[in-house]
Structure 1
Amino acid sequence: MRALCLITIKPGKTDNIMESLKKKRKILKEILPVTGRADICVLLQGTMDEINNMVIDFKKIKEIVSTETLIEVEVNMGW
């Protein structure tokens, strides 16, 4: 299962958060600084429990203001 986690952080903390996230490499596949409503986008790949636990770990980082997790779903388009 894959998921995207959109992370909003406190201003000026991008480098610190990126370094903290790089240490949590078990199910993190990519970490991207982005523009828009989120500051960092993380691609996760693992079980639902692993993804859930990783997002809970993100919330323990005091510079993270909020997260939004987008879980990949399988859709039959009928093609």
Structure 2
Amino acid sequence: MSNCWDVVRIVDEESLDFLVDINNQSFTHPWTRGMFLEELGQPEKSYLLAALTRSGVVVGYCSIWNVVDEL
């Protein structure tokens, strides 16, 4: 399992289509592309990270919110 993915990086608009596709396949009420763009527009509050294979294919993502006084 250690070779499932190789890289984690901050998401940019270039990889957003992959996230939207994963999200649409995973949830009955998925986020829209616009919702992801809104998150990308708030770097002081929100982080989107993507897990990629060595060949650059996005295989997963994580959304993190920075909330005051929470760890």
Query: Larger helix proportion, structure 1 or 2?
Result: 2
Task: Give TM class, smaller chain.
Answer: 0.3 to 0.5
TM-score (norm 1): 0.32
TM-score (norm 2): 0.34
Larger RCO, structures 1/2 (Cα 8 Å, 6+ apart): 1
Query: Larger strand proportion, structure 1 or 2?
Result: 1
